[in-house]
Amino acid sequence: MEDERERLALELQQAREAGTLPRLRHAIYRAGERHHPGLAAAILDIAESVSDERTLESAAWALGKLGYHSAQAILQQLLFHASPKVVRGAAWALGELGDEAAREPLRRVHDHCEDAELQQIIGGALRKIAGLPVRTYVGIRDAHPGEQSGFLTKCIGVLRIHPPTRGYRFASAMR
């Protein structure tokens, strides 16, 4: 296990130095998938220094998968990125971290977003932060009684989140 972590750390460093983004994304993905929290700081450093949307999406996913709470600030910044892919990854990661501080930025993005898929991911992140089941994505009124902010109020479907390289897919509708 330690050998694998050291290999991944070396792979992250070499890919970053060489500037080979596909290789860097792959190393980030493997660090998150194999759950190596010791590499989270290196992934955070990469997220703060690259501008490639696919690499940022991979980094956000890995930071959420690793549960790296120190990434909260960069993930909140990524919520306002121009690429919907990056925003989706950041929203999902913030939901995984479950920090209350992410609730307001997530709401702001949701209120100004026209992408239904992104709205559902954000709804799921808000539900997770609120400690509610995340299998289905429903409106914020269900998650926070009394609030009326334009969120979806019906269960739309089940969202299965795949690694960033495969994207986000919807399963069959619940109703």
Domain that holds residue 67: 2-170
CA–CA gap between residue 152 and residue 157 (Å, rounded)? 12
Q: What percent of the chain clears pLDDT 70, i.e. is strictly above it?
A: 75
In a domain, 148, yes or no: yes
Q: Can you give the CATH number for the domain in which 108 is found?
A: 1.25.10.10
3-class DSSP state of 155: coil
Domains of the chain: total:
1
Q: Is the dihedral of CA 107, 113, 119, 125 positive or negative?
A: negative
Q: pLDDT class for 34, splitting at 50, 70, 90?
A: confident
For residue 74, being part of any structural domain is answered with yes
Q: Taking a C-beta distance cutoff of 8 angstroms, is the pair 92, 161 a contact?
A: yes
Measured CA to CA, the distance from residue 21 to residue 18 in angstroms comes to 9
- The full DSSP string for 54-121 is HHHHHHHHHHHHHT-GGGHHHHHHHTT-S-HHHHHHHHHHHHHHT-GGGHHHHHHHHHT---HHHHHH
Do residues 64 and 163 make contact, with C-beta atoms less than 8 angstroms apart?
no
88 pLDDT more than 60: yes
Query: Between residues 135 and 95, which one has the greater pLDDT?
Result: 95
Q: Is residue 78 part of a domain?
A: yes
- If you average pLDDT over residues 75-101, what whole number do you get? 94
Q: Flag whether 175 is in a domain.
A: no
What are the pLDDT digits (tens) for 118-158?
A: 999 999 999 999 988 865 444 433 343 333 333 333 233 33
| Residue 60 burial class via C-beta count within 10 angstroms: exposed 0-12, middle 13-18, buried 19 and up | buried
